[in-house]
Amino acid sequence: MSLQTPTATTPIILTGDRPTGPLHLGHFVGSLRNRVTYQDEYRQFIMLADAQALTDNMDDIGKVHRNVIEVALDYLAVGIDPAKSTILIQSQIPELAELTFYYLNLVTVARLERNPTVKQEIIMRGFERDIPAGFLTYPASQAADISAFKATIVPVGEDQIPMIEQCNEIVRKFNRNAGRDILVECKAIVPEVGRLPGIDGKAKMSKSLGNTINLGASADEIRAAVKMVYTDPLHLKVSDPGHLEGNVAFLYLDAFDTDKAGLAEMKAHYVRGGLGDSVVKKRLEGILQDMLAPIRARREELAKDKGQVMQILKDGTMKARDVAARTTDEVRKALGLSYF
């Protein structure tokens, strides 16, 4: 069902990315291609979380700015349609910082420290004792982002579910203090196909691990990456039986090959022996080249007129700001912070 005119009951989605680098196949599988579907069913806000990206990039000012346009190009290239989805730049909606400021009073330090997502990311980013306050408090910021747009659905990875719980706690506490339901609780949805492994077989495709295939990758880059894709280290001779577990070539085929029967046949052949990696990789490369070629072409076309892309971001941001400003106004009034 395509809803051209969202009604009051149309579910509202908030989703987005920290613009710290170009998007890759992992993003495509985990979120981007779902968003292309969502935009026909829901009212979708897609946020370029530049302000949040600063929490651990204060020493590389400029990186975030540069990547905003790159990520926007990725969005548009994969088929996110600004007529259906509202793409916004977080920092250009100061109401989000204002809501964060208020929500900080609704969550205790101890509660933030117990948040499993925050705990895990603190370890992952190597902060230990030198945690920037903005990092510890980012659940409040995320609650601001979600609630500003009164989002009812937030697509997240399994590991982000505690953030959604924390957001709803803040929402409930705020409404209780206000004595009426001003903010809206949201529901996490976890995509079926979650995480794509890196080409090296590591659990996660990630720019910082250098194991990605970017959406804007050239044909040569795709070819080179597929050559490096991790398969079965025990599959030394073509005649050897091969293993599928942890075999990235087949994991990628699972994710992208639409000829499920052909793929099942190939798997069976690989397992019983007599099928070389090169044949599997050729199939994979063909599929990736076919899939990424039009994305790359659209990306290159769009990149010729960055002014137009910025205009799309500006329009989306202004539209989103209207929504956020209305919510913030309600919040301010409920807090008694309205005078003139």
> Which positions touch its own copies (CB under 8 A)?
50-51, 54-55, 58-59, 61-66, 68, 89, 91-92, 94-95, 97-98, 100-102, 104-110, 112, 129-137, 140-141, 177-178, 310, 313-314, 317, 332, 334-340
Closest separation in Å from C-beta 105 to its own copies: 4
**Cα–Cα distance between 273 and 95 in angstroms, integer?**
60
Which residue lies nearer to its own copies by CB, 290 or 322?
Answer: 322
Which residue lies nearer to its own copies by CB, 77 or 107?
Answer: 107
302-310 contacts at long range (C-beta below 8 A, 24 or more positions apart): 302/73, 302/76, 302/77, 303/73, 306/69, 309/69, 309/72, 309/73, 309/76, 310/69
Closest separation in Å from C-beta 175 to its own copies: 12
Burial class (CB in 10 A: 0-12, 13-18, 19+), 138: buried
Closest separation in Å from C-beta 310 to its own copies: 7
Closest separation in Å from C-beta 216 to its own copies: 21
Single-letter amino acid code for the residue at 55: T
Distance (Å) of CA 123 to CA 117, 118, 129, 131, 296: 10, 9, 10, 10, 35
Which residue lies nearer to its own copies by CB, 175 or 289?
Answer: 175
Single-letter amino acid code for the residue at 264: A
Using DSSP's 3-state secondary structure scheme, residue 47 falls into strand
**Tokens standing for 74?**
């990725």
Which residue lies nearer to its own copies by CB, 110 or 261?
Answer: 110
Closest separation in Å from C-beta 303 to its own copies: 16
Which residue lies nearer to its own copies by CB, 129 or 237?
Answer: 129
Closest separation in Å from C-beta 63 to its own copies: 8
Which residue lies nearer to its own copies by CB, 207 or 332?
Answer: 332
